[in-house]
């Protein structure tokens, strides 16, 4: 099966998700800086979600660079990932509109957790399809960053009910960890 169609479809879905998120940003009715103050939490949640989507898009691109073929399991695993990513506009808006209150922050973390699990599943299916000793299998290895991300989200969700801002800080820290370019795949593919 041609991986190009999968990549193009995924690129399109992620682009639509980003478009939906930016369309949810409301324009102030007043022409002064004070009118922007209530929009700060909404904008911050948008920025964080945009960064997460950019990270997923970038890593998805690298992931597919390292594979030769895809199969039906890969298609379903990829759709599983896209499903959780498609919920970003909802949880982004909810968290931002409610100033990162406990329940919306926990739901935001829940979507982050389930997207991370879906990405982990996708990588494992691709590695199983290509072999542990394939360039992808060698590059991903034990996937320490992926596992740490999942554990951090799982800890941040209940923390949202104690201190939602601290939970959001954990979400930001995980994003920061992934913002540093992940060169594992590039190192294996570059001669």
pLDDT tens-digit map of 31-81:
988 999 989 999 999 999 999 999 999 999 989 988 999 999 999 999 999
State the pTM of this model.
0.94
- Using pLDDT thresholds of 50, 70 and 90, give the confidence band for residue 11: very high
pLDDT digits (tens, 9 = 90+) for 131-145: 999 989 988 988 999
pLDDT of residue 191: 67
Give the number of domains in the chain.
Answer: 1
Its domain, for residue 27, covers 3-189
Answer whether residue 187 shows pLDDT above 90: no
φ/ψ of 30, rounded to 5, equals -100, 155
Torsion of CA 169, 175, 176, 180, to 10 degrees: 170
- Check whether 23 has a pLDDT greater than 90: yes
In this prediction, residue 189 carries a pLDDT of: 72
């Amino acid at each position: 099966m041609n991986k190009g169609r999968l990549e193009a479809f995924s690129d399109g879905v992620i682009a639509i998700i980003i478009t939906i998120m930016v369309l949810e940003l409301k324009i102030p009715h007043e022409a002064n800086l004070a009118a922007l103050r209530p929009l700060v939490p909404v904008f911050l949640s948008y920025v964080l979600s945009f960064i997460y989507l950019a990270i997923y898009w970038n890593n998805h691109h690298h992931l597919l660079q390292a594979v030769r073929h895809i199969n039906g399991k890969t298609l379903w695993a990829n759709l599983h990932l896209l499903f959780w990513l498609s919920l970003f506009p909802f949880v982004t808006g909810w968290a931002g509109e409610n100033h990162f209150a406990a329940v919306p922050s926990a739901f935001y973390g829940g979507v982050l957790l389930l997207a991370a699990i879906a990405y982990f599943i996708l990588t494992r299916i691709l590695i199983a399809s290509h072999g542990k000793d394939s360039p992808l299998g060698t590059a991903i290895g034990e996937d320490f960053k992926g596992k740490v991300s999942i554990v951090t989200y799982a800890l941040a969700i209940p923390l949202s009910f104690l201190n939602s801002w601290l939970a959001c800080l954990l979400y930001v820290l995980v994003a920061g960890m992934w913002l540093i370019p992940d060169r594992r795949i590039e190192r294996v593919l570059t001669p």
